[in-house]
Structure 1
Amino acid sequence: MDHATLPVAIPQVIVSALLFAGSVFAPEPVDRIVQLGGRLPLHALLGFLTGLAIIQFELADESTYNSGFAIASVVALAGIVAAIVLAGRESRGLRWLAYLGFAFELAIIYVVTLQSMLDTAGFFLAAAVLLGVLAIVIIRVEKRMKGPVSGGATA
């Protein structure tokens, strides 16, 4: 395989990650430049996930011969978790995109693993444990995002 899309996808992932970091750690100056109304983290996450999906599709056929697909999958999952932790509180859309990205990652990992027929039972066990842990984390994060309800003055 000639990997014709990798020279585009890898810089896309890097630039998207840098844009996300800039929009989270320096939101005012970055938003003055891009003027997206604070939605740059959402757009950067979309670019990050799109670039990684391209990389994963490119490396999926060779997943049994090298670890490129596994590395891309770990980077994608770590990026999704980082996005939720760093900017999930401020953006409901970002949280939903992160959840959809996580579901996509599980699906693509499942398809590639099932296609190779190696360790399918181990994959299902790991996916079940991971989903259970993720459900617990999501519940706790959602509770923290709601915060304490203030008992304001009644009329």
Structure 2
Amino acid sequence: MYRGRLTRDLAIWVDKGMIPSATAEALLKELDSRKSSFSVGGVLMIIAAVLIAASILLLVAANWQDIPRLTKVFGIILLIWIFYLSAALAFSRGADRFGAALLVLGAASFGGAIALIGQLYHLSGDTLDAMLLWFAMTVASAAAFRSAALTVFAGFLAFVVFGTYLEQYEAEWRGIYAFWPPVAGLVLAVLAQWSGAERSRHLIYILLLSWCVWLYSLRADLAVALLFVVVGMLAFLAVALPQSPVSALARRRGASPAFYSFVLTSLGLGLLHFHWTEGGELALLALLTIGTTLLALSLEGRDNGAVRYLAYVIFAAEVLYLSFVTINSMLGTSAFFLLAGLVVAALAFVVVKLEKLFARKDGEVAR
């Protein structure tokens, strides 16, 4: 997505004579040379690794009864070593994409080995412990090889662990296991920083949002929904306001921090609609929702496309929702829309003035 936009912008700048075509080509080559840049070949290599892993498992399953027990154990262990040593050899020769695919095969084989040995020797423990061991070894492997592919694989395993916990304990709160998503998120954040897998941070945000949804499902409490709104909005302001001390650091991570904090705020506002369903409470909630979208647009609407489109969707959804919900009467609904329109107009006026003020200050700093 970013490369496409950059390519279009460079073409416009070249046509206008702002930069020579050689510079544009050099910029695109530099972008493509980055490890985090998208590569069709790399994606196809990972898909091939997943398909080969599936074929190996099916081949073993088809001849399961005819394979001696020790052969099964030594075979799967040998397979793991072959994949990891081959990956190390591939990295040493500069075949990074092939090495990443081999690492994925090795990690998948390790998960199969856990299940195989547990089944053959009837080892004590449960599925959750096995998944935690698989996640831990994948994280260790990703750290040892500084592999972005294994970091992403570990991110998906974090979801598997969380899903296993919910299934095993019937989505109830059970001690320290209930804190798995934030703990896994912290581990993955450190691992992503170490391996350079910036895109894997999306998995961390989604995992934490899933945890928030589960927390709300435990009690469906109004206070939890309000907490999501407050925490999400504070986080959004912290990363979006130029005066915030963490704004510069957050912007180095791209659009994700502002977008996902706004998602958390929107999640809380959406859940509040199940509690405040009529009268003054609904009117207040509607104004709060519309005001939140306008604030998000004023702070991040220009530079953050994800926040901008999400704000559009929420604004439209809120207006449609209010159209189908009568606030005391049709006259009351009309009055509400009139009041909301006046508030939006006033906010637009304030935003325009603030933008001019910020632009003037930026110009003075630049001089």
TM-score grouping bracket, smaller chain normalisation: 0.5 to 0.7
**Alignment counterpart, residue 7 of structure 1, candidates 200, 211, 223:** 223
Aligned to 2:249: 29
Question: Unaligned regions of 5+ residues in structure 1, if any?
Answer: 145-155
The answer to whether structure 1 residue 119 and structure 2 residue 331 are counterparts is: yes
Shift of the 121–77 alpha-carbon distance from structure 1 to 2, 3 Å rule, reads closer
TM-score normalised over the length of structure 1:
0.66
Inter-partner Cα distance in structure 1 for 2:333 and 2:228: 34
Shift of the 83–48 alpha-carbon distance from structure 1 to 2, 3 Å rule, reads same
**Alignment counterpart, residue 51 of structure 1, candidates 264, 268, 272:** 268
- Point out the more displaced range, 75-84 or 40-49: 40-49
* Residue 31 of structure 1, CA deviation: 5.7
- Amino acid in structure 2 at the alignment position of 1:29: L
TM-score normalised over the length of structure 2:
0.30
- Point out the more displaced range, 14-23 or 102-111: 102-111
Secondary structure in 2 aligned to 1:72?
Answer: helix
The answer (yes or no) to whether the contact 2:293–2:314 under 8 Å persists in 1 is yes
* Residue 86 of structure 1, CA deviation: 0.6
The answer (yes or no) to whether the contact 2:255–2:306 under 8 Å persists in 1 is no
Shift of the 5–27 alpha-carbon distance from structure 1 to 2, 3 Å rule, reads same
**Alignment counterpart, residue 41 of structure 1, candidates 258, 261, 266:** 258
% identical aligned pairs: 24
Inter-partner Cα distance in structure 1 for 2:221 and 2:287: 20
The answer to whether structure 1 residue 69 and structure 2 residue 289 are counterparts is: no
Inter-partner Cα distance in structure 2 for 1:58 and 1:121: 19
Residues 71-122 of structure 1: CA deviation (Å, up to 9, x unaligned): 11111111100100011111111111000010011012122227x5442772
Inter-partner Cα distance in structure 2 for 1:125 and 1:54: 22
**Alignment counterpart, residue 297 of structure 2, candidates 69, 84, 89:** 84
Inter-partner Cα distance in structure 2 for 1:124 and 1:17: 24
- Point out the more displaced range, 116-125 or 95-104: 116-125
Structure with higher RCO (Cα < 8 A, 6+ apart): 1
Secondary structure in 2 aligned to 1:77?
Answer: helix
Q: Superposition RMSD on alpha carbons, in Å?
A: 3.0
Inter-partner Cα distance in structure 2 for 1:108 and 1:44: 23
The answer (yes or no) to whether the contact 2:226–2:272 under 8 Å persists in 1 is yes
* Residue 123 of structure 1, CA deviation: 5.7
* Greater Cα radius of gyration, structure 1 or 2: 2
**Alignment counterpart, residue 323 of structure 2, candidates 94, 105, 110:** 110
Aligned to 1:147: none
User: Which runs of 4 or more aligned residues in structure 1 lie more than 6 Å from their structure 2 counterparts after TM superposition?
Assistant: none
The answer (yes or no) to whether the contact 2:283–2:336 under 8 Å persists in 1 is no
Count of aligned positions: 124
Inter-partner Cα distance in structure 2 for 1:121 and 1:9: 25
* Residue 28 of structure 1, CA deviation: 2.6
Secondary structure in 2 aligned to 1:101?
Answer: helix
Residues 47-87 of structure 1: CA deviation (Å, up to 9, x unaligned): 11111111122211xx13xx221111111111100100011
